[in-house]
């Protein structure tokens, strides 16, 4: 989203924090216009991750634009195509020329089909990525969490104070809290800039005991330690 480039990225850079940005290349708002800005973001040390090219969600989500393009009606080959097409576009974008290391499940949903035909596509993500991020508003125990299906806290459903509490509880346990933002003062699933700043300043002020990093960097650390 443009607000991530306009508002989140400068704030992260001022506080010397790095984050992961999950994008839908080709269909994100103003994608083509902002290609150079996404490249500079990646070059500055932020992670650009795969969020598919067409953002397929459950048929029950009312915001869908394509009536028949939804998870309950997709074949495995279609979800794989959406992932791999995004990977190809992002390889052209990223300064390393490599495919993204991590993935985010659109709408936090990791299945296709329905009833007896319902199947997880987590194995397809596991084959292609170091890690995959979902939702469920809980922290990750690095000893046992499935790196292909990580949990994340949805920032738009929490106040900044509650997010800070969730982070501190995770740190006290030695767990990993992933905080998921969408629109920053604009667009959808909106969080105000001041609320994002409050959480980021909490992290920056405690960098001696809280490691704030990209999803890919933390996942790689866990994989090596295991």
pLDDT given for residue 46 in this prediction? 96
The CATH number given to 2-225 is 3.20.20.370
pLDDT given for residue 137 in this prediction? 97
Question: pLDDT digits over 26-37, tens only?
Answer: 777 788 889 999
Residue position matching structure tokens 């596991």:
126
pLDDT given for residue 27 in this prediction? 77
pLDDT given for residue 64 in this prediction? 65
d(C-alpha 209, C-alpha 203), whole Å:
9
Cβ distance 139 to 111 under 8 Å? no
Structure tokens at 22: 């999950």
Query: Which regions of the chain are under pLDDT 50?
Result: none
* CB neighbourhood size of 20 (10 A): 23
> Which residues make Cβ contacts (< 8 Å) with residue 94, sequence separation at least 6?
39, 42, 48, 100
CA torsion sign for 145, 148, 151, 152 is positive
Residue position matching structure tokens 């989140």:
8
Cβ distance 131 to 103 under 8 Å? yes
Question: pLDDT digits over 96-127, tens only?
Answer: 788 899 999 999 999 999 999 999 999 999 99
**pTM given for the model:** 0.95
What does residue 135 show for φ and ψ, rounded to 5 degrees?
-130, -125
CA 160 to chain centre: 19
* CB neighbourhood size of 193 (10 A): 15
């Amino acid at each position: 989203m443009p607000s991530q480039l306009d508002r989140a990225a400068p704030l992260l850079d001022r506080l010397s924090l790095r984050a992961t940005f999950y994008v839908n290349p080709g269909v994100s708002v103003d994608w083509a216009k902002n290609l150079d800005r996404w490249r500079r973001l990646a070059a500055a040390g932020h992670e650009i991750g795969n969020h598919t090219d067409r953002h397929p969600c459950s048929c029950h989500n009312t915001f869908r634009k394509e009536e028949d393009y939804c998870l309950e009606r997709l074949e495995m080959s279609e979800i794989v195509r959406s992932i791999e097409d995004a990977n190809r576009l992002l390889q052209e974008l990223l300064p390393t020329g490599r495919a993204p290391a991590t993935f985010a499940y659109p709408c936090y949903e990791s299945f296709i089909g329905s009833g007896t035909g319902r199947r997880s596509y987590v194995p397809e993500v596991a084959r292609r990525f170091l890690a995959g991020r979902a939702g469920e508003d809980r922290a990750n125990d690095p000893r046992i969490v499935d790196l292909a299906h990580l949990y994340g806290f949805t920032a738009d459903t929490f106040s900044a104070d509650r997010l800070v509490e969730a982070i501190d509880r995770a740190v006290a346990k030695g767990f990993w809290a992933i905080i998921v933002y969408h629109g920053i003062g604009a667009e959808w699933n909106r969080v105000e800039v001041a609320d994002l700043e409050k959480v980021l300043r909490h992290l920056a002020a405690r960098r001696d005991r809280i490691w704030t990093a990209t999803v890919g960097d933390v996942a790689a650390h866990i994989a090596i330690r295991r």
